[in-house]
């Protein structure tokens, strides 16, 4: 039972630390950058001034979506690594484990 309590404590610590993990990705050769946090929240979008033109609106929308999607993929890997580090090997190595299903 001690291991279960220890795991619960470590998982709570890991959950609380998610807000400090970020991933930034870019699209359009760096013209659009998106940053997300470990809670899967979009933190910021940076858009190069070159794209701020009405005739570039559709391309800009596509680049924003691409950058956000890449950042979301990167944050998933960081979340898994964060939980592995916090739990100190208590969590089994399950490469397809979706922490989102557990509320993380």
As assigned by CATH, the class of the 21-87 domain is: alpha beta
Q: Where are the domains of the chain?
A: 21-87
Q: Secondary structure of the chain: what % helix, strand, coil (to 5)?
A: 60, 15, 25
Residue with the bigger pLDDT between 46 and 85: it is 46
Cα–Cα distances in angstroms (integers) from residue 16 to residues 20, 49, 66, 104, in the given order: 9, 36, 28, 9
- pTM for the complete prediction? 0.70
Tens digit of each residue's pLDDT (9 = 90 or more) over 7-28: 888 888 888 999 999 999 999 9
């Amino acid at each position: 039972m001690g291991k279960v309590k220890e795991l619960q404590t470590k998982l709570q610590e890991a959950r609380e630390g998610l807000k400090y993990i970020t991933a930034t990705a870019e699209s359009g050769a760096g013209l659009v950058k998106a940053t997300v946090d470990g809670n899967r929240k979009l933190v910021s979008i940076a858009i190069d001034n070159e794209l701020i033109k009405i005739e570039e609106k559709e391309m800009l929308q596509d680049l924003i979506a691409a950058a956000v999607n890449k950042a979301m993929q990167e944050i998933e890997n960081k979340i898994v690594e964060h939980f592995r580090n916090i739990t100190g090997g208590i969590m089994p190595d399950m490469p397809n484990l979706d922490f989102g299903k557990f509320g993380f």
